[in-house]
Amino acid sequence: MTETPARTQIADQAAYAEAVRTAVEAAAAYYGEGDSPLDDDAYDRLVRGIAAYEAANPGHVLPDSPTGKVAGGAVIGDVPHAVPMLSLDNVFSAEGLENWAAGLERRIGRPVAVWCVEPKLDGLAISARYRDGRLVRLVTRGDGAAGEDVSHGISLITGLPARLAEPVTVELRGEVLMTRAQFENANAARTGAGHPAFANPRSAAAGSLRTLYRDYEVEMTFFAYGALPLEGTDPGLAARLGELPHSQIMGLIAEWGAHTTADTPVPGVTCTELAEVHQQVERIAGARATLEFGIDGIVIKADLAADQADAGTSSRAPRWAVAYKLPAVEKITRLVGVEWNVGRTGIIAPRAVLEPVVVDGSTITYATLHNAGDIARRDLKIGDHVTVYKAGDVIPRVEAPVAHLRTGEETEIPVPDACPRCGGGIDDSQKRWRCAKGRACHAIASVRYAVGRDQLDIEGLGENRIDQLVAAGMITDFADLFTLDRDRLLELERMGEVSTDNLLYAIAIAKTRPLSRVFCALGVRGTGRSMSRRIARHFATMDAIRAADAEAFQQVEGIGPEKAPVLVAEIAELGPLIDKLVAAGVNMTEPGATGPAAAAPPEDDGQEDGGRAEGGPLAGMSVVVTGSMSGPLAELTRNQVNELIERAGGRASSSVSSKTSLVVAGEKAGSKRAKAEGLGIEIVTPEEFAERVADHL
């Protein structure tokens, strides 16, 4: 199938002229202060539409058209580049990459010997000029021929040393960006100083780097993607830079002390076959959601200097490199409303209602807003154009308003002065507001959670049945389930003798569940199924959990000094409910656990073992499960698979790192599998894993 990336449809010459004007203005804003009125995807679609119209109507082409120009023709700065800083041509599919590679090999008259594959960082392209190893000038790409001097921003950038490890005269080229943490910190500092929030990390980096004076601090990060000789460069070094493969030049840059992609989870790699290139493209694309910085594609280059020289360049881009563009994870849309929802623990959470927008293949209508303070800090208003961000499985979130698109018709977001569910008071002493009634405000939600499959797993207690029991006044919390009266149940609509006896039997079984499931059913803030297992296996009994202070909780893997006091307070608040469970005869011990006094010492990685089984086929191993399970594991929930791992002596983990021993990868494994491949971690199928732990299934 022929590659056909989406583009804006342009009907006539007037629409074409308007599209050119819009694109040129957007490019000037994007490569200037970074505050384009169009998101990247909308701009790319517009330029592709302009190019398609020009191809069909060559007599209508305007001289200021952005097609075929670096930075879309935007003229930013007057510091000339000795060698033009070019853009990259794009492909959008595996087929497009195959066609581009075939064209390159026809151009040079031979197969490309070595390919280099690197992430395409979503930042601001800059040139860093060093004299005798000292950083003396920083220049933006601008229009490719000349850029803007931003040397005043040198001190803000990590990964770009003031002095290189060797006294060389050289020009490093790379991207300046903000990591997610740097972006959050920059926005907090900026809004704290009374300025509007940045719309996204790229505009934050572009705007911050160009600002001469500011009353707040920001930090950015540099990653190099190339090196060139300057006037005065040692002839021997100049010759090396002209002869070495790109991959070796990147190694040289790293030796000098500047950051490269080798300092990231997605380092650049070399391949000798195009099939390997496709695999590396999938690896980097799969890891996108886990990265601390934005990427909008993957760059594929001919690695050898001879191949690059024979391929040459066009007026806009090198012919020996291409960008494999990925679907956008960031779009601009309009905030049309805010909903205030009350969760099962009484937390009052705002949710943005958006004009529907397609982000990374899915239509987004709602996004998280965190809390009332976050809304105020970001200065969000109803009617704002907002930047919506989504990566992988991360819940979409509103980054910030696009302040320069405001019309004056935007309105303040109404903030509730009473609980939106029960009308009671609000506890606003913490960042996340909470109904003063706590869990009692939304008892139905708490019961629904407690009886779920990964908690008490009470069959026959669906949402309608729970609503019926609450409405009849038979339960106010899930502890009341264990004292239900058979005769009263029989009085309820659609509750015959068989269904009543089945329900009471299921509730009786739930009484015997291990402590880990009972604790999970309590819905303690900051815990889930895995954390509940670790807590139950560490303390062994509910009495020990209730007696533990913050210091004791910090002995449990994954609980730090911030979370521990919250757990202590939550468990104290749940005291009456726990007392009711104890009185009803619900199990309060964890089978096989012996408590803190007999707990095993930490592993070498400094993490508590959580009371998992001694020995077993997974002894000492950290195991990550990802994708859809099949074979003997098909009917198990993810939590049940994690329990299986621990019964077999291993430790279940949710993220892949250098400490991961094994990854069980099912269908659609995605970024975790890709990261494991990059780290050389053993990967097995669900069937192979089931065979390995067969004695513990």
**Burial classification of residue 77, based on how many CB atoms lie within 10 Å of its CB (0-12 exposed, 13-18 middle, 19 or more buried):** buried
DSSP code for 557:
T
CA atoms of 527 and 532, how far apart (whole Å): 6
Catalytic annotation, pick one of 69, 120, 325, 331: 120
CA distances from 564 to 403, 550, 552 (A): 39, 5, 8
CA atoms of 413 and 87, how far apart (whole Å): 41
110 and 52 Cβ atoms separated by less than 8 Å? no
CA atoms of 439 and 694, how far apart (whole Å): 41
Residue owning tokens 């007599």:
59
Amino acid letter, residue 231: E
Q: Residues of 43-61 as b/e, b for ≥16 C-beta within 10 angstroms?
A: bbbbbbbbbebbeeeeeee
Q: Sheet containing 662-665: which strands, arranged edge to edge? A: 651-653, 622-626, 662-665, 682-684
120 is catalytic: yes
Residue owning tokens 């029991």:
469
Token pair in block for residue 586:
């619900």
C-beta neighbour count of 274 within 10 angstroms: 18
77 and 149 Cβ atoms separated by less than 8 Å? yes
* Strands 682-684 and 662-665, sheet pairing: parallel
Of 127, 159, 131, the residue nearest 142 (C-alpha): 127
DSSP assignment string, 153-206: GGGGEETS-SB-SS---EEEEEEEE--HHHHHHHHHHHHHTT-PPPSSHHHHHH
Of 490, 489, 469, the residue nearest 478 (C-alpha): 469
CA atoms of 455 and 344, how far apart (whole Å): 15
CA atoms of 60 and 313, how far apart (whole Å): 26
Residues with Cβ within 8 Å of residue 273, at least 6 apart in sequence: none
Q: List beta partners, residue 180.
A: none
Alpha-helical segments (H) within 451-574:
463-471, 486-490, 497-510, 515-521, 529-539, 542-547, 550-553, 563-573
Of 171, 165, 201, 164, the residue nearest 186 (C-alpha): 201
CA atoms of 203 and 34, how far apart (whole Å): 4
11 and 27 Cβ atoms separated by less than 8 Å? no
**C-alpha triplet 292, 298, 304: angle, nearest 5°:** 125
Catalytic residues: 120
